[in-house]
Amino acid sequence: MERRALISVTDKNGLEDFAKTISELGFELVSTGGTLKFLLEKGIKVTPIEKVTGFNEMIGGRVKTLHPSIHGGILYIRDDKSHENEIISEGIKPIDIVVCNLYPFKETVAKNPTLEDAIENIDIGGVTLLRAAAKNFKYVTVIVDSSDYDLVKKELIEKGNTSYETRKKLCVKAFTHTADYDSAIESYLSDVLTDNKKLKLSFESGTPLRYGENWHQKASFFKKDTAEPSASNMKQLHGKALSYNNYLDIEAALNVAKELSEYNAAVIVKHLNPCGIATGKTLFDALKNAWDGDRVSAYGSIIALTRRLDLKTASFLKGKFVEVIIAPSFEEDALEFLKNKSKDIRIIEVGKLFTSEEKVYKFLIGGVIEQDRPKGLYEKWECVTKEKFPDSKKDLGLFTIIATKYTKSNSIVLGMEYEKGQYKVLGSGVGQPNRVDSLKKLAIPKIYENLENMWNEENPGISKDAFFKEKISECVLVSDAFFPFDDTVKVAAEHNIKYIIQSGGSIRDKEVIETSDKLGISMVFTGMRYFNH
């Protein structure tokens, strides 16, 4: 029997070459409306749909492919003699390839159209074509994505037909497309017609992980399409399979690295909290200073870098145990060094760092929370104290805000300019029920521990106490939220901290400001909170 291909697409990317190829292979092309016009303009022989159905397109194009001559040709079972006899008696020719993609409903409703315009972009015939062809995948090739043209062409040229394996994959792809399409329509109409806001999320390619949060828990990772560098599109170049905790730490490290992507920067994460963050004149400088932020916690950590990893920077990790290292790319000698360093270290390539996703989600038992991504660092920059906040400290303040933004609440972070224009986290206290403990019991001891290491290694020629006092006085402290009392300010002053950034907004702001003035502290209100639960 003569072979036919029905083509009716909105996205015409790659169509000219594909249509020419299958036409040359002996397929009669049948098409509709804009696709018909496109093919004819390209000089490709094509049969209008009305010559097959015996009817013109009707009611403004709403009805054109919904006809037994079309769906009989798609749906009949080739191995069923009764089906074949019916097809022959009705003069229907088989359709072996269906190429179809749908009206741009999602793109249309994203522009806030009228209800009438939205409804006119609900595809009927296209969805029916895809479902029919996908249902009969044993015999029919269905193409919904132009990226599949090359595979189909290759198999038709080499074998005369597509393989059963290919048709199975294309079938699932078609039903996925129509499911997503119907889901978008349902969500829109539910919201517009019934005031019932719905959220439909789709994930695929479920992959079992080594284990879950603990060894006795099973876990899988499911992907969502996104252009943004993430766990869903990263490339693992080496090392053991990833576990649940690895995925979460990779996400945490990448979030900080994306915010610092304009710098040579290194981010070291342990159990979802950055334990070291630094920028540097070189990537090596950034990694070294990030590591010095917490040398103990850096053991078994996840490291994210903002630049292509070179051999000198990779060599810093000699003799140091890390679980995962993430970078936009790797120089060959650096990659070989890391592979030879450990057969287990996970090496992750993510490409250029940027952000694109607008929403984030938190899954609960029985529900999910959708919220805006936490963009921005401040809504205002208001010095509220008598002691002015110098402009020369603002960049250090912004760096420290970024570090604070991705630590677990309640958190306090102290940032340091270790050389001109280069910054590091000197110490932090995170994840505490109250903020004063974050500073007093966690951040302060870590700050002094790191300063002692610096004093021992730099031999500054002054007493330890003088060195500590001088260095701390030049640092900036950032709180993830307002101070409910002035106790944190008093602790800061006891240790010669002179510059504080916080959101403001407490009922005791006046008291906190008065205490800061008495103690000679400069304080900025940003109007923005950095809670991270």
Catalytic residues: 135, 271
Return the closest-CA partner of residue 19 out of 99, 79, 81, 120.
99
Instruction: Tell me: cis bond preceding 410? Omega within 30 of 0 counts.
Output: yes
Do residues 95 and 68 make contact, with C-beta atoms less than 8 angstroms apart?
Answer: no
Return the closest-CA partner of residue 378 out of 513, 489, 530, 533.
530
**Where on the phi/psi map is residue 417: left (φ > 0), alpha (ψ -120 to 50), or beta?**
beta
What is the end-to-end Cα distance of the chain in Å, rounded?
64
**Where on the phi/psi map is residue 520: left (φ > 0), alpha (ψ -120 to 50), or beta?**
left
Torsion (CA) 379, 383, 388, 390 in degrees, nearest 10:
-10
Could you list the beta-strand ranges (E) of 152-308. 204-208, 220-223, 235-238, 265-270, 273-279, 301-305
For 168, 233, 332, 342, the CA distances from 345, given in Å and listed in that order, are: 37, 19, 16, 6
SS3 74: helix
Do residues 149 and 143 make contact, with C-beta atoms less than 8 angstroms apart?
Answer: yes
**CB-based burial label for 28 (10 Å; 0-12, 13-18, 19+):** middle
Q: Are strands 4-8 and 97-100 parallel, antiparallel or unpaired?
A: parallel
Residue 372's CB is within 10 A of a number of other CB atoms, namely: 8
